[in-house]
Amino acid sequence: MPAVARCDSSLAALTLRVGRESLGLFRHSRRVNAGTLTSVAVLEREPEKPDKEVRAPRARMTGSERRHQLIGIARSLFAERGYDGTSIEEIAQRANVSKPVVYEHFGGKEGLYAVVVDREMSALLDGITSSLTNNRSRVRVERVALALLTYVEERTDGFRIMIRDSPASISSGTYSSLLNDAVSQVSSILAGDFARRGLDPGLAPLYAQALVGSVSMTAQWWLDTREPKKEVVAAHLVNLMWNGLIGLEADPRLQDE
């Protein structure tokens, strides 16, 4: 083969090899650049935020705490709407629990109502009972009147519940039964006082009904008016009752016109 032909063939082979190497280098460069760009994009991208804020779970109430909560909610509803106007469903909804939870604690609406009334009765009886002991007769009357008005002032919802109509199935632990107990105690006190004064002790229950009734009705009136102050109301009640008792006639008669 002539020298010129061999030279051309060698030059062509060299050119082809250089071209292939250049192409390979170009492809490698593209891969490197693409990887670099991807890495930069990942670094520059803002960190993803969770869709919702993660909150720590609320601590569950103990059985005692849940019972106390349900009683408080029921107390407000019974005072506002009465027994018939209150439902277990609404009590459960306000407590954010299911109805079976309420049934589990109280057996039903009647059981829950009985617990609420029993608590209110205990609170009122504690105040009245302490007023009837270790005091002189007039002071006892004053303390009883003031104890009832204080209860009305401090536990308004409880008093509203007790003066509403209770379910027929609940015959004890109601405001009526409380008044009957009060009449019995006042009657016993008056009977001893009447005997010492030469009056008929047999009439003590009649006067006890009149005294307790006047205090009870006045308390219900004061529930909404709240005027004058409870101390003033109690003083006027005692003024009427005590002065009436002091001036009792042994054999009162209606005056003929």
Query: How many angstroms separate the CA atoms of 67 and 115, rounded?
Result: 10
Tokens of 244: 């009436």
What pLDDT shows up at residue 243? Answer: 87
- The whole-number pLDDT of residue 25 equals 44
Query: According to the model, what pLDDT value does residue 212 have?
Result: 87
* CB within 8 Å of 215: residues ≥ 6 apart: 144, 145, 148, 237, 241
> Which pLDDT score, from 0 to 100, does residue 38 have?
47
Q: Do the Cβ atoms of 70 and 95 come closer than 8 Å? A: yes
The H or E element spanning position 107 is: none
- Residue with structure tokens 């629990």? 97
**Residue 112: its pLDDT value, please?**
94
SS3 91: helix
Q: What is the pLDDT along the chain (257 residues), one digit of tens a residue?
A: 554 444 445 544 544 454 455 445 445 444 545 444 444 444 445 555 555 555 545 568 898 999 999 999 999 999 999 899 999 999 999 999 999 999 999 999 999 999 998 898 888 878 777 776 655 678 877 888 898 899 999 999 999 988 876 676 665 567 788 788 888 888 988 898 899 999 999 999 999 999 889 988 999 999 999 999 999 999 999 999 888 888 888 889 998 75
> HSE of 140 in the Cβ direction (CA atoms, 13 Å)?
15
The pLDDT value recorded for residue 229 is 95
Token pair 């029921």 in the structure block, residue: 74
pLDDT for residue 123: 85
The fold of 118-246 is: Tetracycline Repressor; domain 2 (1.10.357)
Q: At residue 81, what is the residue type? A: R
Residue 139 pLDDT: 83
Alpha-carbon gap, residue 99 to 87, rounded angstroms: 10
Quickly tell me which residue has 């008669």 as its tokens.
253
| Phi/psi of residue 256, nearest 5 degrees | -75, 140
Give the DSSP H or E segment for 31: helix 3-44
